[in-house]
Amino acid sequence: MATLTGRDSRTQNDTATFAVLTDQGRVRLVLAGSIDQLCVAELEEAVSETVRTGLPVEIDTRHVTFMDSAGIGALSSLTVASPHRVTFIEPAEVVRFLLHVTHLDATVEVVRRG
């Protein structure tokens, strides 16, 4: 059975959307839109919810249009708190860049499909 929780956070330029999906022994955190300081509290709440499951984590950032240091910082805290290696599914270009410059790409798995 899948469990879905989600939030929308409005910014001036874009909508930030967060969803936590739990199914078949894993949890997926789905992010979309502009992830910045204006919505970091909601992102941190979604990260906490994800970590509390204790399940392997997948992060889907395919539809992220912008991310600042607050966003990558929240995702970094998830990679530290998770008992499993975190997987990023087809990260958007901006997220790949941030994973690289913060060296998180050395501690997570990046999956590119297709």
Nearest alpha-carbon partner for 17 in 6, 4, 5: 6
Which tens digits make up the pLDDT trace of 70-110?
999 999 999 999 999 999 999 999 999 999 999 999 999 99
Q: What is the pLDDT of residue 2?
A: 45
108 forms beta bridges with none
113 or 55, which is more confident: 55
Summarize pLDDT for 30-61 with one digit per residue, the tens: 999 999 999 999 999 999 999 999 999 999 99
Residue type, 102: T
* Residue 111 contacts residue 90 (beta carbons within 8 Å): yes
pLDDT of residue 15: 84
Confidence check: pLDDT of 14 > 90: no
pLDDT at position 113: 74
Query: pTM, whole model, 2 decimals?
Result: 0.85
CA distance 103 to 24: 30
Give whole-number Cα distances, 72 to 4, 68, 90, 101, in Å. Answer: 23, 7, 16, 11
Q: What is the pLDDT of residue 114?
A: 53
Which strand (E) or helix (H) includes residue 93? helix 93-101
